Copies of this chain bind each other. A is one copy, B any other.
Amino acid sequence: MSESKPQRAVGVRDVAALAGVSRQTVSRVLNDHPDVAPDTRARVVSAMEELGYRMNNAARALGTHRTRTIGVLASDALQYGPSRSMAAIEASAREAGYWITAAFADSGDEASVGQAIEHLRAQAVDGLIVFAPHARTLDVLDALRIGIPTVILHAAERADFSVDQRAGARLAVATLADAGHQRIAHLAGPADWLEAEGRATGFAQELAARGLPAGPVFSGDWSPRSGHGAAAEVIASGATAVFAANDQMALGLIGGLRAAGVDVPEQISIVGFDDVPEAAYAWPPLTTVRQDFEELARRAVARVIALGGSGATASDPVAVASSGSSGSSGSSGSSDPVAVASVASSDPIAPVLVVRDSVVPPAG
């Protein structure tokens, strides 16, 4: 209270003065530079605390050309998966000392995707995490030739990190087949969605692997509405079980089936995908496939930061385009001890089946 408070916010200048060192030394402490004597560092640190010093990111960015900010283009952020990913990404980023700036887009609208990306680029983010549910979204990305590290998520096999959609679908179909179902239908997501495609493929593969006839495939748009609307077709198809590409459609389908007087699971068994919170408490509790979005986010953030930190820039073709993975096609298992060592695996994450009550043996 005795001294007159400076009008301006405290800066390295002030800290340096109080600690009796140069601004540069303060800067070194700030950046954890190794070559600083322990006691000097201590003096600086206490000076910072005494003054309530807070770094000015704008100034830092001006010098370093880095903003420590990751842009997240969250398409369809209202869907369960993307919203989970978003929250998890923020957590991972914050832990790593990064900020998240978000942009939302309607993945079906290429223009909106382009705009969102431009918005993020204008913000000078160090890297981008893009949810690319559509093949079209990927095309937009390619066309833009973004000059910064980019990690693609939610794009099935075309993503840099993903939960194995095909494997999940096979798990779903397997549990149905194991229960004795022969006529299994698939209520798919929109055909142009990569994850929907992955699940549809897994559906077909598992059926084929078991020598079961290719089941009828109906398509929805992920919404409960579309699931509800598919009820009539499902009934007409004579299927005794259906694998819905997501829980929302599964739930809608159950609603539609019941409205038509068809019981679930007695007459028709159902398996969903996602394990949304309501799945466990629906009637009947829904058997479904759970994905680990937290792990997905963790890996994505680690990768963007690694790409940026390793000096990957527009001029570095390898890192920039964020190609799926450089060489998992390789010969020897873990022959490259250096490089990508600490970065998370880019192998697909295995989903897990959650067994509940929506599957029973067929009535026949």
Contact = CB atoms under 8 A, between A and B. Distances in A.
Given A84-B78, A87-B77, A228 B281 contact: yes
Given A55-B122, A278-B248, A101 B101 contact: yes
Contacts of A227: 281
Nearest to A259: B283
Interface residues of A, number: 52
A140 interface: no
A120 B119 CA distance: 20
Nearest to A276: B224
A312 interface: no
Chain A interface main SS type:
helix
Central interface residue in A62, A99, A121, A124, by most chain B CB within 10 Å? A99
Contacts of A84: 78
A256 B59 CA distance: 57
Given A224-B280, A225-B280, A251-B282, A101 B256 contact: no
A90 B103 contact: yes
A102 interface: yes
Interface in A28-61: 54-59, 61
Contact of A256 (B104, B223, B258, B281): B281
Contact of A278 (B61, B100, B121, B252): B252
A69 B252 contact: no
A254 interface: yes
B58 A58 contact: yes
A214 interface: no
A162 interface: no
A6 interface: no
Central interface residue in A62, A116, A281, by most chain B CB within 10 Å? A281
6 closest A-B pairs by CB: A58-B61, A255-B283, A228-B281, A224-B278, A224-B281, A252-B281
Given A77-B83, A252-B282, 17 more contacts: A56-B62, A57-B123, A58-B59, A58-B62, A58-B67, A78-B83, A78-B84, A86-B102, A87-B104, A94-B103, A94-B116, A94-B119, A224-B278, A225-B277, A225-B280, A251-B281, A254-B283
10 contacts: A57-B122, A58-B67, A62-B62, A77-B86, A90-B103, A94-B103, A223-B281, A225-B280, A225-B281, A255-B281
